[in-house]
Amino acid sequence: MISDYHIDSLDRSEVLRYLGYRGQAMTPELDARVDGVIAHCLEVGRPRGSVRTFEVAGWATMADGLPELRLAGTSLTLQGHSMEEHMAGAVAVGVLAVTAGMGVERELRRLAVADPVAQAIFDAAGTTLVERAADAAEAQLVALARERGLYTNFRFSPGYGDLPLSCQPVLLSTLDAQRRLGITLTDTLLMTPTKSVTAVVGMFRDRQPSTHRTCRGCPCFDFCTLRPTGVTCHG
Amino acid sequence: MADTSASSDKTYAQRLVESLPEGRLTPRQLRVKDDHLARALAGEDFLLLDGAMGTQLQARGLAAGELPELLNLTKPEEVTAIHRAYVEAGSEVVTANTFGANALKLNNSWTVRRVVEEGVRCARASGARYVAADLGPTGALLEPMGTLPFEKAYRLFADQVQAADAAGADLFVIETMADLAETKAALLAVTENSDLPAFVTMTFDEDGRTFLGTTPEVAAVTLSALGASAVGINCSLGPADVAPLVERMLPWADCPVMAQANAGLPRVVDGTTVYDIKPAEYCEAVAGMLDAGVTIIGGCCGTTPEYIAAEKKLLAGRVPAPRKLRDCFTVTSAQELCALEPGQVGVIGERINPTGKKRMKEALRSGNHDYIMGLAISQTKDGAQILDVNAGLPEIDEGAEICRLVSELQGVTTLPLQIDAADPAVIEAAVRSYPGKALINSTNGKADVMAAVLPIAKHYGCAIVGLALDEEGIPKTAQGRLDIARKIVGRAEELGIPRQDIAIDCLTMACSTDQTAPRAILDGIRLVKRELPGVRTVLGVSNISFGLPFRPLVNATFLSAALSAGLDLAIVNPGTQRMMDVVHSWRVLSGEDESAQYYVAHFADRSDKVAPAGASPAAGGVGGSVTSVVGTSDGTSAPATREDQVRELVLAGRKGPVPEAVAGLLDSHDTMYVINQVLIPALDEVGARFEKGTFFLPQLMASAEAAKAGFEVIRQRNAGTGEAGPAKGKVIVCTVHGDIHDIGKNIVRMLLENYGYDVVDLGRDVPPETVAEACERDHVELVGLSALMTATVPAMRETIELLRKRCPWAKVVVGGAVLTPEYAKMVGADFYAKDATETARIAGEILG
């Protein structure tokens, strides 16, 4: 399922946080420049994503002793102790890939030469944008889980904990992400556009300690399709 | 970065050319299976391809994420069954299941040869009239946006092509491409390793561009010039959305145009993927494409034999619709088409050329291309439509350098490029990986030059400049120029280069040495335009005024005359207002600027009145005008002295007023005073504030940017007086191999430059050998390595090990998000820098 996410604003304080902002006094020029760059990022960005869910097929132990979660209908497997913990008791797994788009990447390359100050701010804005897109994709998975009466935990990305980056090629092809989203991998398994995120979300029969307790402060709030229908994911 | 490092006495271009298939430049004789296919390639017959393979395999239980091509070996009968169903529905061409059968995707599971062979065999077993070998994207992104070198992509495709040709395929289908560079690599792999036809389709988004920004027009122009037997669109969208895009290709492709749309958009219903457009609706849209002139059809994701059967019915009794091709002069970049109708004039920006330009020479020698990128940005802004690129300096490897420039320029401009070089190997190296249809500057009427350069233009689908000179030199007369033009055009047309892709340069000679020259040149242009209709003309204008005072006036007058004589392309400095004024006003007179819309919009407020003396900001007193807009970084009262003003501007990160303030200071002080007593202390203060946390990153950078504007003023003054610059020593910076993040590295570079270091920025994803070579070449004493990802820290260690071996004198400082002092020690670095100011401090320690 491919979705375009309509994101028309970014949390300025989050952009500044990525830049190491801790309340320093800014000149009006810098202030305006940050706003201008954020607006520009939203203009060239094309946040898009793809999600799918797979049933848990079972756990196995690999030759090196690490646990491996197998899923039905895909050759994607999730290896390591981080997944053992994150997916303990999961009955299904949601997989997501999102990107801010190649326009953002092109602009990052141009600014590297044309305006390094703007590049740094643009980079932070791009990160904020793609994280917003990931929130939107996660909201889709939360809704898909809820349709089946399942509860989700939170998104977990390859490269964190001991979930290896080596699952990236299969994860991306599972979502047909090159063709549908334009996400490619370097031989060191980094994604281009660099402002792209992949992640997996556990789906459980029982409420999880990490299941959002309240809608307030939920990162998925703006993208939630449940709340308007009078339902909540923690419900 | 392309591997442009020197490893032998041969130049980069020589080594590249020697590695390419011999005979690639000899004209291709296509091997066409039968008369029907020949007629289809001529646009006289329709050709019906097949529908989806991937979604059909998924419907038969292929798991997500599995390599579909491996089924050629594990379940060949299933693959053949899918092909056979298409043949039974009416497909004349079936596309073998080899889309992703490249070494990168197969990742050592099976050999390319085996998977492709079995794929072609499965397709052949279906009884299809023609079997097409399928080439899809490699899965990696090519340089400069990605890290896969062009020649590596070419090699991946060439392996597939050789295997498919040997296995008995009848043609190639290159499809679902989003990157024009990758598409070009695939197409060259076919044209250089097989004599079979190649159909090429790219995939477009709703906004009418591929993910990498290519438009249908750009794809059609570039790929048909490059020798595609058909071009078109596949995948991405439903047929109703594909139709307008494929119709945009029709006027620009001198080969059949094809369309293989999806059956609408995929939706997941009860766990299975379904497509929302049914065969009847699908064919309705296809009928519109046929009416417009499309002659090769089929389907993509979601289509089934049912759709193909419906298309077969649709074709029954139809004949191909007539098409009308545009007769424009065309060149392209990956994102932009420059097309000149007869009578339209184009501007080629001349400034990226070291001849007589000291600063450009410096930039080429040092490898620091900022200045050159700046020239590209300003010429783009000033209205150039094509940029000339010349890297000809005797002491550098021209081929390596021009390839680097061409690659880097794509990051800052979308204008098509003119490759300006004399050595055929250099020309070939530059145009080969250029993602677009380049303009080659140049050939001339000499037999050996035509024999060397014209086949390159033909093979790589380039437009070409032909200089009106030959073994006898430059003819004195207009008739002499025409005779040479006729020779060049004749030879080019024999090779299949269309005449609208040829621009004859009648060669400007200085009026001061021969006052009959201007008339001969202008008459030459007139004669060429009249006697060789369709051929374009081009002229570098400014030589005309050589030796005269106030040259811009003579140049502008000559340009007007040349335009009136029929000049199509003017090579000028688009930053010279007088020249662009001539071009813009001529476009009104010629009717090109319809209803003078552009002219009115841009010239309504222009006046010939000279501004009164003293009105320009530069003429005002520094004290008054700057202070009034300065303010101070802490909001207190205006600074008292000029030193304080500069300091405050740097601290506030306001680069705008800096040049004026620094210029004022330089009127009363020498440069060393301004650097050491004003700018450097201000930067030190910025660094201290950053350390303390009273400044955050963008403030640090804005201050560095403001200081840079000050140093730039000093540099310009020094260039005038010949006084030595403030350079303190060389530092190499780069992001290590495998890592593509460069923000941190760019910040370090900015700061080091401010402190007067000569920074060699090798870019991102830099192999250890390239670092060692650069370090060795100039005996550089400090190398800064950056890595953002844990996965790329080992590459840092490798780079340091190689540096220890080859450059034991060099100190290494490392930094980046994942680095810690412990990591730094582990990889063998001399220093760990937690941020850019720390790196500047370390540089001070090492280099002074």
Residue A21 to residue B696, Cβ atoms within 8 A: yes
DSSP state, residue B1:
-
Could you tell me which of B415, B485, B427, B493 has the C-alpha nearest to residue B460?
B427
What integer pLDDT is reported at residue A200 of this predicted model? 98
Contacts of B411 in chain A (CB under 8 A): 106, 109-110, 112-113
- Whether B192 is in a domain gets the answer yes
Q: What mean pLDDT is predicted for residues B14-18?
A: 96
B795: part of which helix (H) or strand (E)? helix B793-806
The chain B residue lying nearest A172, using CA atoms, is B65
Instruction: Note whether B286 and B216 are same-domain residues.
Output: yes
The tokens describing B462, both together, are 């380039």
What is the residue extent of each domain of chain A? 2-229
What integer pLDDT is reported at residue B591 of this predicted model? 96
- B64 CB-near residues (< 8 Å, 6+ apart): A52, A54, A73, A74, A75, A76, A173, A174, A175, B58
The tokens describing B293, both together, are 């002139």
- Render pLDDT for A37-54 as a digit per residue (tens, 0 to 9): 999 999 999 999 999 999
What integer pLDDT is reported at residue B623 of this predicted model? 36
Instruction: Note whether B717 and B734 are same-domain residues.
Output: no
DSSP state, residue B236:
S
What integer pLDDT is reported at residue B756 of this predicted model? 87
Task: Count the domains in chain B.
Answer: 4
CATH of the domain at B390: 3.20.20.20
Instruction: Note whether B819 and B740 are same-domain residues.
Output: yes
The burial of B667, by beta-carbon neighbours within 10 Å (0-12 exposed, 13-18 middle, 19 or more buried), is given as exposed
- Whether B612 is in a domain gets the answer no
Of the candidates A1, A27, A179, which has its C-beta nearest B653's C-beta?
Answer: A27
User: B101 vs A29, which has greater pLDDT?
Assistant: B101
- Whether B21 is in a domain gets the answer no
Instruction: Note whether B570 and B647 are same-domain residues.
Output: no
Of the candidates B265, B653, B765, which has its C-beta nearest A30's C-beta?
Answer: B653
B375: part of which helix (H) or strand (E)? helix B370-381
Could you tell me which of B448, B398, B442 has the C-alpha nearest to residue B420?
B442
For residue B371, give how far its alpha carbon lies from the nearest alpha carbon of chain A (Å): 10
Could you tell me which of B815, B725, B741, B806 has the C-alpha nearest to residue B773?
B806
Contacts of A102 in chain B (CB under 8 A): 145, 211-213
What integer pLDDT is reported at residue B721 of this predicted model? 65
Asked if residues A104 and A41 have their Cβ atoms less than 8 Å apart, the reply is yes
The chain A residue lying nearest B835, using CA atoms, is A20
The chain B residue lying nearest A1, using CA atoms, is B267
Ranges of beta strands (E only) in B328-390 are 329-332, 337-340, 346-352, 386-389
Asked if residues B232 and B246 have their Cβ atoms less than 8 Å apart, the reply is yes
pLDDT in 10s for each residue of chain A, 235 residues: 789 999 999 999 999 999 999 999 988 989 999 999 999 999 999 999 999 999 999 999 999 999 999 999 999 999 999 999 999 999 999 999 999 999 999 999 999 888 999 999 999 999 999 999 999 999 999 999 999 999 999 999 999 999 999 999 999 999 999 999 999 999 889 999 999 999 999 999 998 877 767 787 788 888 888 888 888 887 6
The answer to whether the bond into B681 is cis (omega within 30° of 0) is no
Instruction: Note whether B192 and B115 are same-domain residues.
Output: yes
Distance separating alpha carbons of residues A6 and B360, to the nearest angstrom: 45
CATH of the domain at B691: 1.10.1240.10
Domain boundary among B292, B315, B338: B315
- B600 CB-near residues (< 8 Å, 6+ apart): none
Contacts of A33 in chain B (CB under 8 A): 698, 702
What integer pLDDT is reported at residue A212 of this predicted model? 67
B578: part of which helix (H) or strand (E)? helix B577-590
Of the candidates A24, A165, A174, which has its C-beta nearest B699's C-beta?
Answer: A24
Domain boundary among B538, B565, B599: B599
Global ipTM: 0.91
The answer to whether the bond into B633 is cis (omega within 30° of 0) is no
Residue B698 to residue A187, Cβ atoms within 8 A: no
Distance separating alpha carbons of residues B130 and B430, to the nearest angstrom: 36
- Render pLDDT for B64-84 as a digit per residue (tens, 0 to 9): 889 999 999 999 999 999 999
What integer pLDDT is reported at residue B614 of this predicted model? 45
Contacts of A170 in chain B (CB under 8 A): 65
Q: What mean pLDDT is predicted for residues B489-498?
A: 97
Confidence of residue B726 (pLDDT cuts 50, 70, 90): low
**Do you know the residue count of chain B?**
848
The residue segments making up the domain with residue B824 are 730-847
Residue B65 to residue A75, Cβ atoms within 8 A: yes
Instruction: Note whether B96 and B75 are same-domain residues.
Output: yes
The tokens describing B400, both together, are 């390596």
* Widest pairwise Cα distance in chain B: 90
User: Quick one: what percent of chain B has pLDDT higher than 70?
Assistant: 94
Distance separating alpha carbons of residues B719 and B728, to the nearest angstrom: 17
Q: Which of A3, A18, A24, A127 to mutate to test the interface with B (most CBs of B within 10 A)?
A: A24
Give Cα separations from A81 to A76, A163, A167, A189, B605 (angstroms): 16, 8, 15, 21, 70
Residue B8 has pLDDT above 80, yes or no: no
Give Cα separations from A224 to A196, A202, B159, B731 (angstroms): 21, 18, 48, 51
The burial of B841, by beta-carbon neighbours within 10 Å (0-12 exposed, 13-18 middle, 19 or more buried), is given as middle
CATH of the domain at B829: 3.40.50.280
Residue A2 to residue B265, Cβ atoms within 8 A: yes
Q: What mean pLDDT is predicted for residues B559-571?
A: 98
Residue B618 has pLDDT above 60, yes or no: no
The chain A residue lying nearest B736, using CA atoms, is A188
Of the candidates A112, A117, A119, which has its C-beta nearest B702's C-beta?
Answer: A117
For residue B141, give how far its alpha carbon lies from the nearest alpha carbon of chain A (Å): 6
Phi, psi angle pair for A2, to nearest 5°: -100, 135
Distance separating alpha carbons of residues B814 and B821, to the nearest angstrom: 9
Instruction: Note whether B790 and B674 are same-domain residues.
Output: no
For residue B655, give how far its alpha carbon lies from the nearest alpha carbon of chain A (Å): 10
Residue A52 to residue B64, Cβ atoms within 8 A: yes
Residue A27 to residue B746, Cβ atoms within 8 A: no
Residue A187 to residue B140, Cβ atoms within 8 A: yes
Domain boundary among B699, B721, B743: B721
Residue A179 to residue B66, Cβ atoms within 8 A: no
- Whether B8 is in a domain gets the answer no
Contacts of B735 in chain A (CB under 8 A): none
Residue B798 has pLDDT above 60, yes or no: yes
Q: What mean pLDDT is predicted for residues B467-494?
A: 97
Instruction: Note whether B583 and B625 are same-domain residues.
Output: no
Q: Under DSSP, is residue B156 helix (H, G, I), strand (E, B) or coil?
A: helix
Asked if residues B493 and B458 have their Cβ atoms less than 8 Å apart, the reply is no
Distance separating alpha carbons of residues B191 and B492, to the nearest angstrom: 19
What integer pLDDT is reported at residue B631 of this predicted model? 44
Residue A106 to residue B370, Cβ atoms within 8 A: no
- Render pLDDT for B239-266 as a digit per residue (tens, 0 to 9): 999 999 999 999 999 999 999 999 998 8
What integer pLDDT is reported at residue B609 of this predicted model? 73
Residue B793, Ramachandran bin (φ over 0: left; ψ between -120 and 50: alpha; else beta): alpha
What integer pLDDT is reported at residue B635 of this predicted model? 47
What integer pLDDT is reported at residue B628 of this predicted model? 41
The tokens describing B223, both together, are 């790929």
What integer pLDDT is reported at residue B617 of this predicted model? 42
DSSP β-bridge partners for residue B202: B177, B233
Q: DSSP letters along chain A, please?
A: -EEE-------HHHHHHHTT-SS----HHHHHHHHHHHHHHHHH---EEEEEEEEEEEEEE-TTS-EEEEETTBS-EEESHHHHHHTTT-SEEEEEEEE--HHHHHHHHHHHHH-HHHHHHHHHHHHHHHHHHHHHHHHHHHHHHHHTT-EE---B-TTSTT--GGGHHHHHHHTTHHHHH--EE-TTS-EESSSEEEEEEEEESS--TTS-S-STT-TTGGG-SSGGGT--TT-
Asked if residues B442 and B505 have their Cβ atoms less than 8 Å apart, the reply is yes
Phi, psi angle pair for B43, to nearest 5°: 80, 15
For residue A67, give how far its alpha carbon lies from the nearest alpha carbon of chain B (Å): 20
Other Cβ atoms less than 10 A from the Cβ of B435: the count is 26
DSSP state, residue B118:
H
Residue B698 to residue A123, Cβ atoms within 8 A: no
User: B611 vs B292, which has greater pLDDT?
Assistant: B292
Phi, psi angle pair for B90, to nearest 5°: 125, 0
For residue B81, give how far its alpha carbon lies from the nearest alpha carbon of chain A (Å): 22
- Whether B320 is in a domain gets the answer no
CATH level 3 topology of A2-229: NADH Oxidase (3.40.109)
What integer pLDDT is reported at residue B563 of this predicted model? 98
B288: part of which helix (H) or strand (E)? helix B279-292
B13: part of which helix (H) or strand (E)? helix B12-19
- Supply the mean pLDDT for chain B: 92
Q: Under DSSP, is residue B516 helix (H, G, I), strand (E, B) or coil?
A: coil
The tokens describing B662, both together, are 């620094």
Instruction: Note whether B290 and B360 are same-domain residues.
Output: no
Contacts of A106 in chain B (CB under 8 A): 145, 213, 411
The chain A residue lying nearest B205, using CA atoms, is A180
Q: Which of B274, B301, B705, B743 to mutate to test the interface with A (most CBs of A within 10 A)?
A: B743
Asked if residues B303 and B282 have their Cβ atoms less than 8 Å apart, the reply is yes
For residue B212, give how far its alpha carbon lies from the nearest alpha carbon of chain A (Å): 6
Angle at B595 between CA B593 and CA B601, to 5 degrees: 75
Q: What mean pLDDT is predicted for residues B774-786?
A: 94
Instruction: Note whether B715 and B737 are same-domain residues.
Output: no
- Render pLDDT for B345-404 as a digit per residue (tens, 0 to 9): 999 999 999 998 888 998 998 887 888 999 999 999 999 999 999 999 988 999 999 999
Residue A192 to residue B266, Cβ atoms within 8 A: no
Confidence of residue B185 (pLDDT cuts 50, 70, 90): very high
Distance separating alpha carbons of residues B649 and B42, to the nearest angstrom: 67
Residue B725 has pLDDT above 90, yes or no: no
Instruction: Note whether B131 and B187 are same-domain residues.
Output: yes
Give Cα separations from B225 to B77, B180, B335, B497 (angstroms): 39, 13, 16, 9
User: Count of alpha carbons within 13 Å of B206, Cβ hemisphere only?
Assistant: 9
Of the candidates A105, A178, A189, which has its C-beta nearest B791's C-beta?
Answer: A189
Could you tell me which of B122, B14, B28 has the C-alpha nearest to residue B73?
B122
Give Cα separations from B140 to B136, B147, B305 (angstroms): 11, 8, 32
- Whether B201 is in a domain gets the answer yes
- Render pLDDT for B536-558 as a digit per residue (tens, 0 to 9): 999 999 999 999 999 999 999 99
- Whether B15 is in a domain gets the answer no
Residue B747 to residue A116, Cβ atoms within 8 A: yes
Alpha-carbon B207 to chain mean position: 21
Residue B1 has pLDDT above 50, yes or no: no
Contacts of B203 in chain A (CB under 8 A): 179
Residue A1 to residue B268, Cβ atoms within 8 A: yes
Query: Residue for token digits 């065969």?
Result: B279
Contacts of B409 in chain A (CB under 8 A): none
Angle at B842 between CA B837 and CA B843, to 5 degrees: 95
For residue A216, give how far its alpha carbon lies from the nearest alpha carbon of chain B (Å): 30
- Whether B25 is in a domain gets the answer no
Instruction: Note whether B278 and B381 are same-domain residues.
Output: no
For residue A208, give how far its alpha carbon lies from the nearest alpha carbon of chain B (Å): 25
